[in-house]
Amino acid sequence: MTSTDDTTIERDLPEREFWPRHIAIIMDGNGRWAESRGLPRSEGHRIGGDAVQKIVEEMARLGLGYLTLYCLSNENWKRPEHELQFLMHLLEHYMIQQREGLRKHNIRLRVLGRQAGIPAQVWQEMEETKRLTEHNTGLQLCLAINYGGRQEIVDACRAVAGRVLGGELELEQIEEQTIAGHLYTHDIPDPDLLIRTAGEMRVSNYLLWQISYSEIWVTQRCWPDFSEADLHAAISEYAKRKRKFGGLTTMPAS
Catalytic annotation, pick one of 12, 28, 146, 155 = 28
pLDDT at 252: 58
List the 22-26 sheet strands across, edge first.
108-112, 140-147, 66-73, 22-26, 193-196, 215-218
pTM of the entire structure? Answer: 0.91
Neighbouring residues of 37: CB distance < 8 A, sequence distance ≥ 6: none
Specify whether 28 is catalytic. yes
pLDDT at 12: 78
Return the CA Rg of the chain.
Answer: 19
- Write down all domains in the chain, each with its CATH number in brackets: 18-240 (3.40.1180.10)
pLDDT at 5: 43
pLDDT at 243: 81
pLDDT by residue for the chain (254 residues), tens digit each? Answer: 333 444 444 657 999 999 999 999 999 999 999 999 999 999 999 999 999 999 999 999 999 999 999 999 999 999 999 999 999 999 999 999 999 999 999 999 999 999 999 999 999 999 999 999 999 999 999 999 999 999 999 999 999 999 999 999 999 999 999 999 999 999 999 999 999 999 999 999 999 999 999 999 999 999 999 999 999 999 999 999 988 777 666 665 55
Backbone φ and ψ for 73, nearest 5 degrees, come out as: -85, 160
Catalytic annotation, pick one of 12, 30, 76, 106 = 76
pLDDT at 244: 74
pLDDT at 25: 98
